[in-house]
């Protein structure tokens, strides 16, 4: 749970999660049996951090990591083009369109089956 709470620190821009990660980490680190403190290295390091880049670097255990998403949160043309190429794939790695899945499910539902499930 403490590791999960470190990730919650990255969600501080969401109003209902503001400081939830901090409070959870403080409580967990305070009340977890000392026998388990050896497993709390990353959460304890994340507890004292404020900015998302530092928190992410601690979580990833990589002091030199940089986010591929610019701080402005706006994609440039190349990033937009690369993102638009992303697609769903089936269990064999073949591209699948959402409308194909919906059609299969509708057809299976009419026959009493569960095609895409």
pLDDT tens digits for range 40-81: 999 999 999 999 999 999 999 999 998 877 666 677 788 778
Q: Residue 42 and residue 29: Cα distance in Å, rounded?
A: 11
Instruction: Using alpha carbons, list the distances in angstroms from residue 103 to 4, 88, 115.
Output: 37, 15, 10
Cβ pair 83, 75 in contact under 8 A: yes
Residue 13 or residue 5, greater confidence:
5
Average pLDDT, the chain: 85
Q: Give the closest residue to 22 by CA, choosing from 3, 8, 32, 34.
A: 8
Confidence check: pLDDT of 105 > 70: yes
> Taking the domains of the chain in order of start, what are their residue ranges?
2-60, 86-117
User: What is the C-alpha separation between 107 and 100, in angstroms, rounded?
Assistant: 10
- CA–CA distances in Å: residue 18 to residues 9, 61, 103: 8, 24, 41
pTM over 0.85: no
């Amino acid at each position: 749970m403490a590791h999960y709470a470190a990730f919650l620190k990255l969600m501080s821009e969401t109003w209902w999660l503001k400081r939830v990660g901090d409070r959870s980490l403080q409580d967990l680190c305070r009340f977890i049996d000392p026998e388990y403190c050896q497993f709390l290295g990353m959460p304890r390091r994340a507890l004292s951090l404020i900015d998302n880049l530092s928190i992410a670097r601690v979580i990833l255990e990589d002091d030199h990591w940089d986010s591929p998403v610019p701080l402005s949160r706006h994609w440039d043309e190349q990033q937009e083009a690369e993102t638009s190429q992303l697609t769903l794939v089936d269990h064999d790695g073949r591209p699948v369109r959402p409308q194909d899945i919906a059609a299969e499910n509708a057809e299976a539902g009419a026959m009493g089956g569960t095609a895409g499930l």
